[in-house]
Structure 1
Amino acid sequence: MSLLHPARTEPAPAPAWTVGDLVVRRVDEVELPAQTGPWLLPGATPEVVAAAPWLQPDFADADRVLRLASHTFAVAAGGLRILVDTGIGNGKDRANPAWHRLDTDYLDRLERAGFPPGSVDLVVLTHLHTDHVGWNTRRDGDAWVPTFPRARYLTSRAEWDHWAGTELEEPRRQMFRDSVHPVAEHGLLDLLDVPADGLEIAPGVALVPMPGHTPGQVAVRLTSGGATALITGDCIHHPVQLAEPGIDSHVDIDPALAGATRRKLLAELADTDTLLLGSHFPPPTAGLVRRDGAAYRLLAVPGTTGRPADGGTAP
């Protein structure tokens, strides 16, 4: 058994949150290895973690090392089935050894959550990084084909244009070859112009610009029945960035802009009832932003594992 690729275990039910008439489920792919945190967020030292004791035990381990995860949010909205980001993917050649040729039961988990691939209507790609696009495609013989054959795949035009105009290193070219270009070649990719106040893509589901980590990154805002939630993408990688909003990600393209985006978002969410759903937050994954001195903390809101009112099952 690889320490980077843990053995499969019987999955727990996909936790769910209700946002008015919308239902959001977290569909797990993998827990990321312990070395991810120090690499991704080098400013999140054990001393920083110790200064925010609310981070333990859920968001950091006993050694004050950050916990991070890869998962998809599956949203049932107005009869539509929507996936937000598709993780790392199986069987793909990746420079990161923890992501190289994964073999997980992600598709089984997705189906158990009520989202079999053939039922998915929309796939939102918050940005075009390797760990957010991998299950866009699956292997079919010698080819990579769309995993969700009847879905429209959505990303911002600003994101596409950035990477189209950038000289890519080979690992990123490989990612585009196996996980992005096949979707475009099958005519399933839509590039969206996302205004500053957001773009509704389905009833109660809107994309909101969150630039900095990448130029065209978006978050996903859910609104229904007076309730709101926000799926982060990578504008916030980990709850430690609430305790210390100045902590930047090692892979932010524009750290100054990413930091400004993060601070503005946290100030807007602080002490409101908007549920924050972290795209890399480990369980319990979701919570409410609360002011904590000069910074913030996350008041955890665990998901339920029973069936919400609409069942979340495929038609």
Structure 2
Amino acid sequence: MTHINKTYQVGDITVTRIDEMRLNTSAVSFLYPDSTQAEAEENAWWLTPADMDATNHNLVQSIHSWLVRTPHHTILIDTGAGNTKPRPRNPIFDNLNTPYLHRLAAAGVRPQDVDYVLHTHLHVDHVGWNTQWVDGRWQPTFPNARHVFSQAEEDYYGSPESHNEVNTPSFGVFEDSVAPIIAAGQAERIGNDGGTFLDNFEFHPTRGHSIGHMSIELSSRGQSALFTGDVMNHQLQVVYPHWNTVFCEWQDDARISRRRVLEQSAEQHLLLFTSHFAQTSAGYVSRLGDGFTWHYE
């Protein structure tokens, strides 16, 4: 089924979610080892069935890309998990067969139309559609696109140093979804301190979930939004910023980055385009006393 999603306007730029899949496989206690049962129960009243499965009480999460169309470029923010990728250590993403490209086509975009792919980080569920298996090898899905990611991500995930327990779900990902992009000459690195890109984007270092994680700010005609990547994986982290996911490798840095994003977002009233929140995946953070609240847009 084609998913029809809301298109957001940021100045003269449009942003549309391109769905890949929905998950309801993670219990709060698994995804957030720092959580307590009491904390989870305190928030059950405001989590709808679209955010927490009413039958098994697992968290509902979305895997998707954000399609950004400027007056000059067609851009994807992250590319999901991809089809036919062998992920024996991560059954959720093993040998998928989703209609992602059909949904992209329904939004009026063919693979050859994509000019840039901007990556928040290089985990399994953010780079998968970079490549497809064609003629016996992994080849770029978007033949005309420049793929932009931080140098730290490439250095780390391209080395044995990343082969540890936290990164088990991403084993093999660099080899089949990133290395072919580099070999094709389509990779472009952003400095580890971030920086501006094209006319409308700025990469902000938000290390913690991964070594070179970036959140990407979009600005146009006095309006701004932020693609948060995996600074947060569910809106419960807006309420509990001290919660890290089981997949956050640099724990202290992850909490610092999350708090900074929440404070900036509330202060500047930024529209956030999240990577895994359910429902629309877009919304706003507001202050509530010493903490924060979330509402979908």
TM-score (norm 1): 0.86
The answer (yes or no) to whether the contact 2:152–2:211 under 8 Å persists in 1 is: yes
Residue pair 1:49, 1:55 contacting (<8 A) in 2 also: no
Within the candidate set 13, 17, 20, 1:26 is matched to: 17
**Superposed CA offset, 1:123-171 (max 9, x none):** 0111111111100001102111000000000101122122234434487
Q: CA deviation at 1:236?
A: 1.1
Higher mean C-alpha displacement, 58-67 vs 151-160: 58-67
Once residues 55 and 64 of structure 1 are traced to their aligned partners in structure 2, the CA distance between those partners, rounded to angstroms, is 10
Q: Secondary structure at the match of 1:230?
A: strand
1:127–1:159: 8 Å Cα contact kept in structure 2?
yes
User: 44, 48, 62: which one pairs with 1:56?
Assistant: 48
Q: Cα RMSD between the aligned structures?
A: 1.9
Displacement, 1:271? 5.0
Q: Which residue of 2 aligns with 1:206?
A: 202
Using the TM superposition, give the Cα deviation of residue 294 of structure 1 relative to its aligned residue in structure 2, in angstroms. Answer: 2.7
Counterpart pick for 1:127 among 96, 113, 121: 121
Residue 44 of structure 1: how far off its partner (Å) = 4.6
What pairs up with 1:155-166 in 2 under 5 angstroms?
Answer: 155-166=149-160
1:67-216 residue pairs with structure 2 within 5 A? Answer: 67-94=60-87, 95-169=89-163, 172-195=170-193, 198-216=194-212
Letter aligned with residue 59 of structure 1 = D
Give the drift of 1:83.
0.4
Q: Secondary structure at the match of 1:270?
A: helix
Aligned counterparts of 1:271 and 1:164: Cα–Cα separation in 2: 37
After superposition, give the CA deviation of every residue in 1:63-99 in whole Å (9 maximum; x if it has no partner).
Answer: 5431111000010123201101111000011021111
The change in CA–CA distance for 1:177 and 1:194 in structure 2 (over 3 A counts) is closer
Conserved 8 A contact 2:217-2:226: yes
Please give the secondary structure, in 2, of the residue aligned with 1:167.
helix
Letter of the structure 2 residue corresponding to residue 141 of structure 1: D
AA aligned opposite 1:72: S
- The 8 Å contact of residues 74 and 115 in structure 1, kept in 2 or not, is answered as no
- Matched with 1:228 is 224
Separation in 2, partners of 1:120, 1:48: 43
| Residues 37 and 135 (structure 1), Cα distance of their counterparts in 2 relative to 1, 3 Å cut | farther
Question: Contact between 1:58 and 1:284, CA under 8 Å: does it hold in 2?
Answer: no
Deviation at 1:58, TM superposition (A): 3.4
Residues 20-29 or 185-194, more deviating: 185-194
Specify whether residues 46 and 21 from structure 1 end up closer, same or farther in structure 2 by C-alpha distance, changes over 3 A only: farther
2:3/2:103 contact within 8 Å kept: no
Once the two structures are superposed, the pairs formed by residues 273-284 of structure 1 within 5 Å of their partners are: 273-284=269-280
Code of the aligned partner of 2:73: L
Q: Answer whether contact 1:194 1:208 (CA < 8 A) is retained.
A: no
- How does the TM-score come out when normalised to structure 2? 0.91
Where structure 1 has 5 or more consecutive residues not aligned to the other structure, the ranges are 1-9, 302-315
Count matched residues: 290
Q: Which moved more, 1:68-77 or 1:170-179?
A: 170-179
2:287 corresponds, among 285, 291, 295, to 291
- On the 8 A contact 2:124/2:169 being kept in 1, the answer is no
Distance in 2 between residues matched to 1:201 and 1:50, nearest whole Å: 42
Shift of 1:219: 0.9
Q: Do the aligned residues in 2 keep the contact of 1:288 with 1:300 (CA within 8 Å)?
A: yes
- Within 1, Cα distance between the matches of 2:25 and 2:126? 19
| Residue identity opposite 1:222 in structure 2 | L
Residue pair 1:211, 1:258 contacting (<8 A) in 2 also? yes
Structure 2 residue ranges without an equivalent (≥5): none
TM superposition shift of 1:242: 0.5
Within 5 Å, which residues of 2 pair with 1:229-308? 229-270=225-266, 272-301=268-297
